[in-house]
Structure 1
Amino acid sequence: MKIRTNQQWLWAVPVSLAALVMAGCQERPAPQKEQVKVEKQEASSTIPLIQAKVVSVKLSKPEACDAEGCTQYEIQTVKSNLKWVDDYFIDRVKKADPIAFSTTPNEKINTAEGASPNLSQSSTYIRFVSQQYDRATFAIQTYTYSSGAAHGMYHQEFVNFDLKNKKRLALQDIMVKGVEQQLLNTLYDSNSIWLEQHSIEREKLKLSDNFYYGANGIVFVYPLYELASYAEGMTELTLSYSALTKLIKAEYLPALPKYPSS
C-alpha cells in the first residue's frame, strides 16, 4: 500500500506542473487603460493622411473655337488617395468649363483677311493645401484672359472638407447658430485699421464663404475689386482662433493651449 501511494503521488506531480504551465501560458486581459489607448488609435486610423499630387486633365478641346475666336484651356487637378475628393474636383471643372470637355467640332472663325483670330486663355489649377486631423483644405486657382482685355483676371477659392463625414464645409456648417452679426463685428474690429484705411465702413463688410485655416486663425478671402484695387490683389482678413471660441463650433476649431489662471 505504501509503494502504491508513492506511485500515485509521483504521477500527480507532472499533472500539477502541466496545470501550472497551462495557467501561465494563458493570455492575460489587457489593463483597461491600454484597451482605451488601443481604441483611440483605431479611431484615429479611420481618418486618412492625405497624399495628393497635381495631374493634368485630358481635354476633348484644349482649344475651343467659335465664330468670334478661340479659347485655349489648361486644367490641372489633384489625384489623391481619396476618390470622393478627386471626383468632387473633376465634377467642378467639368461644370465650370463644359466646352473644354465637349466633343462638338469647332466652328469656323470669321476674321478679316490677314487679321489674326482672337485668342483667349482659361486655366484652372487645383492643389492640396493642408490637413488638420479630420479637416483638409484645397485651393482652386483660376485665371482667364479675354482677347483684347487690358489684363487677365484671377481668383483663388479655398475648399474645406470634413473627412470624417465626407462633405465640403461651408461657413454655415462650422459657425454657431445665430452669431452671424457677432462674427462680422468681431472680424471688422480685428481688421479695423486696414478696413478704415480703405474706406470700408462696418455696414459694407460682408462675411465671405471663401475661407481657410491659417496658422493663427481663420482667414476670410475676398475677390478682386471687392475691398481693394486690382493691384492689391485678393483681400485676406484674419480672425484669431482665440476670438472664435464662442463663434465657431468646437469640433471645427484647433485645440488651444490652456494657461493657468493667475
Structure 2
Amino acid sequence: MLKNKPKQLGGMIGLLLMMSLTACHEGSSTQQQTQDASAPSQAQSKQQDLPLIQAKTQPIVLPKVEVCEKDECTAYQLATVKTNVDWIDQFFLKRLQKDLPLAFNPPASEPTVSQAAHLTQSSNTYTVRYLGQNANMASFVIESETYNQGAAHGMYHKEYVIFDLKTKKRIMVDDLLQTQVQQKLINALYEANQNWLTQHQVSKDKLEITDNFYFGVHGIVFVYPLYELAPYSDGMTELTLPYSQAKGLIRSEYLPK
C-alpha cells in the first residue's frame, strides 16, 4: 500500500493543477467577454452624445403685425423651429432678426392710418422647418416669400441649412469638398445634368457651385435661386450630383451613412 501512495499523491496534484488552469482560463475568458461587451457600449455612448433632434415650427410673436415706414407698409408673418437643442434655436432666431430687423424693432414713429392707406403695401413671410437627421447631420430649410404691391408676381426662396451636430456648426460647400476639387465638381455636376443644362442654354463655364444644397435620396442637390439658371416659370433650379459620382469629391464624413 505504501508503494501506491506516491502514485495517488501524484494523481491528486495533477488533478489540482488541471483545476487551477481551468479556473484561470475561465477567469480570463470571462474578463475578455466583459471587455468585449463593454466595447459596443462605449461606441454607443459616443453616438448618444449626439442629440436626437425633436422639432416643431411655431409662429413668432412680433411687436406689430404690420410695420409702416415713409414709403411703404410691410406685413410680417414669421415662424421658426423650436427644438431640443438651444444653439439651433438661437441660430435661426438671430438669422431672422438679422434679415428682418424692422419686424423685431419697428420705428418709434409711424405714419397715421390715413397716411398709411396711401403707402405701398408689401408682405414678408418666413418659415423655418425641420427636415430630418442623418447621424451627425441635421437638415432644416428657411422658406421665404415676399410680395410688393404692383409687382407682376411675388418672389420666393428656399435656403437649406445643414448642421454638423459634432462641431455645432453649419456645413458649407467648402466644408464638403476635398482639397482642390471645385472644377472637378463643376464638371461632374454638369455631366450629371447635361440634358437639362443644354436645353436651357447653360454652358459649363457659366455654371458655378452654390452654397445652397441638401442631401437628397439619390445625391447631393444644389439649389439655385429664381432667374439664375432658368426663367421664373421654371422655379428654383435643382441640380443633383449622384452619390456614386460624389466619392472622391465630397469628404466621406459628409456623405450620408
After TM superposition, the score normalised by the length of structure 2 is 0.84
The equivalent residue for 1:142 is 144
Counterparts of 1:124 and 1:61, CA distance in 2: 15
What's the % identity of the aligned pairs? 45
> In the alignment, is the contact (CA less than 8 A) between 2:67 and 2:106 conserved in 1?
no
Alignment map for 1:96-135 (pairs within 5 Å)? 96-108=99-111, 116-135=118-137
Alignment map for 1:1-262 (pairs within 5 Å)? 30-108=33-111, 116-255=118-257
> In the alignment, is the contact (CA less than 8 A) between 1:61 and 1:102 conserved in 2?
no
> In the alignment, is the contact (CA less than 8 A) between 1:221 and 1:236 conserved in 2?
yes
Q: How far is the alpha carbon of 1:64 from its aligned partner?
A: 0.6
Counterparts of 2:95 and 2:251, CA distance in 1: 28
Please list the CA deviations of residues 121-153 of structure 1 after superposition, one character each: whole Å capped at 9, or x if unmatched.
Answer: 001000001110000110000001111111110
Letter of the aligned partner of 2:74 in structure 1? T
Letter of the aligned partner of 2:137 in structure 1? R
Counterparts of 1:193 and 1:88, CA distance in 2: 38
SS at match of 2:245: helix
Please list the CA deviations of residues 182-227 of structure 1 after superposition, one character each: whole Å capped at 9, or x if unmatched.
Answer: 0000000000000000000110011011000001110000000001
Q: 1:246 to 1:64 in 2, by over 3 A?
A: same
Instruction: Compute the RMSD of aligned alpha carbons.
Output: 2.0
> In the alignment, is the contact (CA less than 8 A) between 1:66 and 1:109 conserved in 2?
no
The equivalent residue for 1:260 is none
SS at match of 1:86: helix
Counterparts of 1:109 and 1:155, CA distance in 2: 33
Q: 1:106 to 1:69 in 2, by over 3 A?
A: farther
SS at match of 2:102: helix
Q: 1:63 to 1:106 in 2, by over 3 A?
A: farther
Aligned residues: 229
Counterparts of 1:91 and 1:164, CA distance in 2: 21
Letter of the aligned partner of 1:72 in structure 2? A
> In the alignment, is the contact (CA less than 8 A) between 1:65 and 1:106 conserved in 2?
no
SS at match of 1:64: strand
Letter of the aligned partner of 2:146 in structure 1? T
Please list the CA deviations of residues 42-73 of structure 1 after superposition, one character each: whole Å capped at 9, or x if unmatched.
Answer: 11111111000001111123211012231000
Higher helix share: 2
